[in-house]
Structure 1
Amino acid sequence: MGFLKERAKELSRSEGTVIHQQDTFFNVEKGRLKLRRFQKVLSDALGVKGIVKKERHLYLVGQTRVHVDSVEGLGQFMELEVVMKEGQGVEEGEAIAQELMQQLGVKREDLIVGAYMDLLMAAKSG
């Protein structure tokens, strides 16, 4: 992961921003509900499914937010978030992400689906 972080620094031409986050996931029937505020009210109403603690390094490359995350209990991950401009379609966003993946040396088979909470739950049950 050190290589990807260094490559993200090069591409963004910055040291990035370090963000410490704690996401709380709540028990809901379908999907995921994750909020960083109003925790007490939702905890009492829904119950807590789990908590994800991470240190995120944020780099901006063009219109893409590159997140290099260290997730407690899971390890290191990279996430690309293409911030779409008005008039851009999904295909264009995917092309931007694919090009950046190539520049970073990330292969399609390296990709995973799901949220960190899903991975933590799977690790606990497996």
Structure 2
Amino acid sequence: MKFDLHNTSNTTKMILIAEFFLVSYLLYALTVNIYQSYQIDFHVKNFENENRMIAEENRKKAEDLLYYTSDAYIDKIAKQNFGLINPGEEVIIIPEGENIPTDDVKDETGKYPLKAYYNLSNSERWWKFFFERTNS
């Protein structure tokens, strides 16, 4: 059985052409709809990521606010900027350049053990600490 368009009527031909255009339009509309759905999903994901970042930033800022309004921070700033002290506290001022340990620290034997370490490099100090311990 052979399909022959010459024997079909003009009305049937018009209906077939109209159906072809209708199917083509439906496929086009479906493609556009799928693309728009993809774009909407993409924007939703971007907004969710942005919301997550904003929520994290808000959480950090809330923590900062709690810290900056805490009594500990206010006390710290009052001590640093205004020199205030709480009752029962003592202020010890260490002048610049005097953070070096003094040589007058003696051990139980009456020797000055820190002098031996002043001229050593850091690795030599660790070597002595781990491997050259004295038996006392």
Shared topology, TM-score over 0.5? no
Higher Cα Rg: structure 1 or 2?
Answer: 2
Q: Relative contact order (C-alpha < 8 Å, sep 6+): which is higher?
A: 1
Higher strand proportion, which one?
1
TM-score w.r.t. structure 1 length? 0.19
Higher helix proportion, which one?
2
TM-score w.r.t. structure 2 length? 0.18
